Amino acid sequence: MEHRHDAHETTHGTDHYMTNAGTRGGGHAGHAGMGHGAMNMAPAGIPLAIGGEDRDGLELDALHVRLGPVLAHWPAGLVLRCTLQGDVILDADASLIDADQPVAEDDGRGSTRPLFAARRCDNAAGLLELAGFNDIASHARRLRDALLNGDAHTGPQLDRLARMARRSWLLRWSLRRLGPVTDQDVARWHLPDTLRGDTRDRLLAMLDRAAQALAGRNGHLVAEQPRVPIDAVAELVRGWDLAAARLIVASLDLDMWTADRAVSRV
Amino acid sequence: MITHVAFWILAIGAALTGAAVFIVNSMARASYALAVSFICVGLQVLLLQQNYVGVVTILMMVMEMAVMAVYMVMFMGMNPALMPMSMVHDKRHALAVSIGVFLLLAAGALLTPWPARRGTPPADVTAALGEELMEPKMLVMAAVGVVMAATIVAGVVLAAHRTRYDRFGDDLRRRPARDPQPGGVGR
Amino acid sequence: MILQTVLLVAAALFSVGLYGALSQQVVVMVMMGLELMLNGLILAAAGFWWFLSPDPSGQVLLLVIIAAMTVEMAMGFAVATALHRVRRADMTDMAADLSR
Amino acid sequence: MTVVPPPWALAAAGLLGLLTLGAAVLDGVLSARAAGTHVRTGLTRPIGEIARLMRQRRRVTVAADTLLWRIGGAGLLVMALMIITVVPLGKWTLFDLDVGVVWFNAMDVLAWAFVWLTGWGANSAHSLVGGYRFLAHGLAYELPLMFALVAPAVAASSLNVATIAAAQQNLWFAVWMPVAFLVYCMGVLAIAVWGPFSPALAPDTAGGVTAELSGLDRLLFLGGRYALLVAGAAFAVPMFLGGGSGPLLPAWMWVLVKTLALLTAFIWLRRRLPAVRPDLFMEVGWVVLLPAVLLQDLLVAGIALGRS
């Protein structure tokens, strides 16, 4: 469990009253009763949080919260160490668990077309669940199960899912303008082209890729899949609130099974 | 009889939770102690047959204290939410003054020969209040309304950090606005 | 429940609030003290209304007190936020120092 | 209007409990159907969940504010009970308060306190974020809800719930003040932290205010949400849906039927609507809902003035 009064790792360890009192020097006798100095600064053994600069200029306490490696609807193995103020992610630092372990070179799990499509459906279901669209999410999950079971006639179902996602104006309202990735971002962080646009665009693209894989239209699948540098994930969530960040990460369609050092595939 | 018992329970509750505001260590507890004190007073006002005012007191104050708790946690720098705190100055003088004031007020309350009750309560107290507000005391209502609206505007202006120039650009033409996080209607 | 007891309770609430308003250093805590004083006022006004002259116009006073409280709180919060932004001050005497 | 003696409060609480359980079962069935599993699992899951939570040992977190945490967890259920005291069932009521509408309003505001306290008490970042998200929602929904409650009161020129119900003999208020009705329904979903207003306990914050809740506390909190849906639906009946008026059936039965119908709609809506994040909803609440409901009030006031 993470605590909201985690230790602050930066160097300005004094609290701001002390700093203020110091700069003002004398004329300060009235504060004798305050007795800050005598206090134990770590209630229940947890040092107090310390404020820092933030985007709203409120200097709220900075909390250190780790997201992952295991979290519902979260790419397993991804760890984001976030510095939160309120629920805004001030700073984040991404890493992968077991990144230095040798990964079995493609073990066959990601190679077949239905499995590739199933993985896209799973990621889409996670994103939809996070956005609170329970019905479409259950649809995506059932489709994933059908794909994994090798059921026939999944193509029309996938089309239906994509149509539901494309037509829902509520989905559009809820996911548009979240975590936009521009052409410059793509170039700067070496992101795959498929991530361009906002969260809704990426959701639709995800479902498109699944449909293409099932129809056998894209030849490359895993071997030539573009990769998402892990640091870009941290870059993308910076400045968003916790929930928006969860949506953005889910929309990246990360696939950690084939993760290698500091790189993931889309 | 039951009203008397209820009144005294509420009275003791109001006073104790009121005192607890300045005794407890936790900001959350302090603000919600004050909320409980207000609820007790609101219920006492209900006992005094002023239903509307009593219930409105509860309504307003619980909301205010919910906001208050957030402000406490936000702005009480070194987080006395968890620390035992003693953020008082001139404790002795304050105590002396307030005890003096209490004695004065109590003496006044007990010793003043209060006049006998004039008039009788209206049959429907709330309706009477409404008519009063909308007819003879309309000015009060109008003034309160304007003051409230002005408060909303002034409060937002004082507390806001970004102006419309930050959002819409220097010529106010940028659409959509540049916000840290986009809002729901997409302006 | 007679007028005297109601007024006693109100006086107690008012005095506790006064103690808080005088002794607390943090702006928000001072506001809590003020609120508690107004709380006492509400009770006293309700008592006066009921026991002395239960005609409708008296209740208007109560509503005005409640309105005053909300305005006080709203402006207090706004000022506290503004002070915090500008100087990181949340103590009354810090705010006083800043005015010099 | 007959005010029944206080012991009947127990019966009212029992009825609330039954409807609450029914709501949980209905939600279970709908979830099971959507997930493609057998409907029976949906029927039995709420019961099993109650049994599990009653036996579960409480999770302990470091430096939790246990007192406030427990108060918050149990509070929603108390709110629901307080709300139904002013709802007339046919011609019986527990508490014939002349300012019943304001009473409902005062009780629904308690959600601000209880949900936030539940988030605060656990001393965990995720649950605290959940608590704040609820308050952010509150800032957006509370004022429209208040003004939505004003509309029926103005139309019936009374704050008494029974009088408002009686004023709808000819036409339900829901029919000619649809905006107020919809905003009221939204408010009920919001105080129950339900459906679109569930971000305070959504999976995107690892469960939000419920992240660390366990055992009896969790049962009370989750049960309290269903109970609030029930209470909100029940209060809508005299306010907007004509109270006990209706053909054939006795008045009290009509109240129950209407409550159940609205409750079913609430439960069903959860699956159909996305969660509205507070950052999105704040603007909608102030820019769209508040003006809309104020216009509705103006219209209602005009019609009421024209009638008198």
Report the chain C residue with the minimal C-alpha distance to residue A29: C93
Write down the residue that tokens 């527990």 correspond to: D94
* Interface probe with A: pick from C77, C94, C100, most Cβ of A within 10 Å: C94
Residues of D in Cβ contact (< 8 Å) with A174:
274-277, 280
Average pLDDT for A50-75: 74
**Closest by alpha carbon to D125, among B57, B6, C50, A81?**
A81
Res. A265: pLDDT tops 70: no
User: pLDDT tens digits, residue range A26-42?
Assistant: 333 333 333 343 344 55
For residue C82, give the nearest of B15, B45, B159 by CB distance.
Answer: B159
User: To which H or E segment does residue B105 belong?
Assistant: helix B91-111
Residues D98, D92: Cα–Cα separation, whole Å: 15
Q: Are the C-beta atoms of residues D279 and A179 closer than 8 Å to each other?
A: no
Q: Is A265 helix (H, G, I), strand (E, B) or coil?
A: strand
State the amino acid at position D141 in one-letter form. Answer: Y
Cβ–Cβ of D132/A87 closer than 8 Å? yes
Instruction: Name subunits touching B (3+ CB pairs < 8 A).
Output: A, C, D
Q: For chain A, what is the domain count?
A: 1
Measured CA to CA in angstroms, residue D35 lies from A123, A164, D38 at distances of: 17, 17, 9
* pLDDT at residue A217 in the model: 63
Residues C46, C3: Cα–Cα separation, whole Å: 10
Res. A6: pLDDT tops 90: no
Q: Is the CB of B122 inside 8 Å of chain C's CB atoms?
A: yes
Among residues of chain A, what percentage have pLDDT more than 90? 0
Among residues of chain B, what percentage have pLDDT more than 70? 90
Domain locations along chain C: 3-99
Res. D2: pLDDT tops 60: yes
Average pLDDT for C74-95: 71
Structure tokens that stand for D62 in this block: 């470091």
Structure tokens that stand for D228 in this block: 């609030």
In a domain, A123, yes or no: yes
Q: Are the C-beta atoms of residues D31 and D272 closer than 8 Å to each other?
A: no
Task: Write the CATH number of the domain with boundaries C3-99.
Answer: 1.10.287.3510
User: pLDDT tens digits, residue range D167-218?
Assistant: 888 888 888 899 999 999 999 999 999 888 888 887 877 778 888 888 888 8
* pLDDT at residue A256 in the model: 59
Residues 6 or more apart from D274 whose CB is under 8 A from it? A131, A132, A133, A170, A171, A174, D196
Q: How far is B81 from chain D (nearest CA, A)?
A: 10
What residues pair up with A264 in beta bridges, in sequence order? A228
* DSSP class of A102: P
Cβ–Cβ of B22/C74 closer than 8 Å? no
* pLDDT at residue A261 in the model: 39
Average pLDDT for A65-79: 82
User: pLDDT tens digits, residue range B57-105?
Assistant: 899 888 888 888 887 777 665 444 445 555 566 678 888 888 898 888 8
Residue of D258 and B161 predicted with greater confidence: D258
Write down the residue that tokens 């005009």 correspond to: D302
How high is the mean pLDDT of chain A? 71
Residues D170, D155: Cα–Cα separation, whole Å: 13
In SS3 terms, D36-87 reads as: CCCHHHHHHHHHHHHHHHHHCCCCCCCCCCHHHHHHHHHHHHHHHHHHHCCC
